[in-house]
Amino acid sequence: MDNPEYKSGFVALIGRPNVGKSTLLNYIVGQKVAIMSNVAQTTRNKIQGIYTSPEAQIIFIDTPGVHKPATKLGDFMERSTMSALDEVDAVLFVVSATEKRGAGDDFIIDRLKQVKQPIYLVVNKIDQVSPNDLPDIVAQYQDALPFAAVVPISALQGNNVNDLLNKIIAGLPHGPQYYPADQISDHPERFVVAEMIREKIFMLTREEVPHSVAVDVTSIKREDEEHIHISANIIVERPGQKGIIIGKKGQMLKKIGTMARQDIERLLGDRVFLQLWVKVVPGWRDKSAMLKDYGYRN
Ligand code: GDP
Ligand code: MG
Ligand code: K
């Protein structure tokens, strides 16, 4: 069920206005952008689109705060966006081949200096310039940051976009397919949250608990501006499995909860209260009607 070779990760797209970020996303994820754009309205790092293939899943997130802040609040937002930049798995810095490097680019470059994850320089709109001019255009940026790769593309025509995707995927960590490939549910966050909890259970309990564990996220509620309250049931088939997941004095469940909460906070960009219960439902796997309810993927 879980493919150990599968790769997945979060990728931030940044660049000055009009360089073609939305056009690129549209090309990569097609129609899904429209569907996904209201996925995580409650959150700061909005999911903009998801690319899924048999080998990898890339979750593109928006970075609203890369413009120069004019206010104290703006400055605060800016800093939280930049700390989010440290948490993504890769960054695409998009520039336009038709524009000279400007103050907006310098501002972004300065912020990206602290980022340790791979940064890809995407030089867009190459359909608008002569190939002879490309080296000089690239040279304006090339040494500004230790780019993992420089990829000239045309987001409008799709030139080299596959090459870009392959390079991003090569640098991604191994991980689960967070979102279903074709089915976009009404509440994808539920699916992702369940998947993050399940992943921690497998990681921490190893072979002791077979894959007959389901996670049912029963509620995701906003408490206030910064806090989200999440409740979930961990469903197992036998009391012995329940004991393993809870652990001595509840230590295992606590660990699962803490690690899952950190991942979920990274995803939602908000503080999370995570409440977990363990329930025994004998033979739940045979009750196919429940599979859908439990967010089970097949
Ligand atoms: P964003 O502000 O970075 O999201 O930029 P958009 O994706 O909205 O694109 C801004 C403008 O540039 C739009 O008119 C796009 O059609 C155009 N554009 C984007 N990518 C390309 C490209 O590769 N070639 C050309 N010729 N135009 C592009
Ligand atoms: Mg845009
Ligand atoms: K967020």
Residues of the domain holding 138: 7-171
Tens digit of pLDDT at every position of the chain (298 positions):
467 899 998 898 899 888 998 889 888 876 444 333 333 333 334 566 788 888 998 988 766 545 454 444 445 445 555 556 767 899 999 999 999 999 989 989 998 998 889 999 999 999 999 999 999 999 999 999 999 999 999 999 999 999 999 999 999 999 888 776 653 333 557 777 887 898 899 889 876 776 678 888 888 887 777 788 899 999 998 899 999 999 999 999 999 999 999 988 877 777 899 999 999 988 766 654 444 444 433 2
* Residue 257 belongs to a domain: yes
Distance between Cα 165 and ligand 3 center (Å): 24
Backbone angles phi, psi at 124, to 5 degrees: -95, 170
* Residue 298 belongs to a domain: no
From the CA of 159, give the closest atom in ligand 1. 23
Count Cα atoms within 13 angstroms, Cβ side, for 270. 21
At residue 251, the pLDDT reads: 97
Any idea which residue has 């798995």 for tokens? 89
Query: Domain ends where: 122, 140, 171?
Result: 171
User: Does residue 7 contact residue 175 with C-beta atoms inside 8 Å?
Assistant: yes
Q: Which ligand has the nearest atom to the CA of 122?
A: 1
Neighbours of 247 (CB within 10 A): 15
Residues 59, 96 within the same domain: yes
Residues 195, 131 within the same domain: no
Amino acid letter, 71: T
Residues 25, 106 within the same domain: yes
Show binding-site residues for GTP: 15-22, 62-66, 124-127
Question: What ipTM was reported for this prediction?
Answer: 0.96
**What is the Cα–Cα distance from 122 to 126, expressed in whole angstroms?**
10
**What is the Cα–Cα distance from 199 to 114, expressed in whole angstroms?**
29
* Residue 178 belongs to a domain: no
Distance between Cα 230 and ligand 2 center (Å): 31
Q: Is the dihedral of CA 220, 200, 40, 49 positive or negative?
A: negative
At residue 281, the pLDDT reads: 86
Strands in 90-96's sheet, in edge-to-edge order, are 47-52, 56-61, 7-14, 90-96, 119-124, 149-152
At residue 211, the pLDDT reads: 67
Residues 11, 130 within the same domain: yes
Query: Domain ends where: 171, 206, 232?
Result: 171
At residue 247, the pLDDT reads: 95
Residues 65, 143 within the same domain: yes
Residues 47, 157 within the same domain: yes
At residue 43, the pLDDT reads: 36
Cβ of 48 below 6 Å from ligand 1: no
* Residue 14 belongs to a domain: yes
Residues 132, 256 within the same domain: no
Query: Domain ends where: 143, 171, 199?
Result: 171
* Residue 274 belongs to a domain: yes
**What is the Cα–Cα distance from 186 to 191, expressed in whole angstroms?**
10
Decide the pairing of beta strands 214-222 and 47-52: unpaired
Residues 14, 83 within the same domain: yes
User: Does residue 226 contact residue 212 with C-beta atoms inside 8 Å?
Assistant: no
Distance between Cα 75 and ligand 2 center (Å): 21
Residues 36, 137 within the same domain: yes
**What is the Cα–Cα distance from 182 to 279, expressed in whole angstroms?**
30
Contacts 24+ apart (CB under 8 A), 23-32: 23/124, 23/155, 23/156, 24/92, 24/94, 24/122, 24/124, 24/153, 24/155, 24/161, 25/49, 25/60, 26/155, 27/155, 27/156, 27/158, 27/161, 28/58, 28/60, 28/161, 28/165, 29/60, 32/184
Q: Which ligand has the nearest atom to the CA of 21?
A: 1
Cβ of 166 below 6 Å from ligand 1: no
Q: Quote the tokens at residue 160.
A: 């080299």
Number of domains in the chain: 2
Residues 72, 165 within the same domain: yes
Mutation probe of ligand 1 site: the residue of 18, 128, 153 with most atoms within 8 A of C-beta: 18
The domain that contains 139 carries what CATH number? Answer: 3.40.50.300
Name the residue at shortest CA distance from atom 19 of ligand 1: 20
* Residue 40 belongs to a domain: yes
Backbone angles phi, psi at 253, to 5 degrees: -60, -35
At residue 3, the pLDDT reads: 79
Residues 207, 82 within the same domain: no
Question: CA dihedral in degrees (256, 260, 262, 264; nearest 10)?
Answer: -160
* Residue 167 belongs to a domain: yes
From the CA of 94, give the closest atom in ligand 1. 3
**What is the Cα–Cα distance from 108 to 14, expressed in whole angstroms?**
8
* Residue 102 belongs to a domain: yes
The domain that contains 256 carries what CATH number? Answer: 3.30.300.20
Residues 127, 242 within the same domain: no
User: What is residue 68's DSSP assignment?
Assistant: P
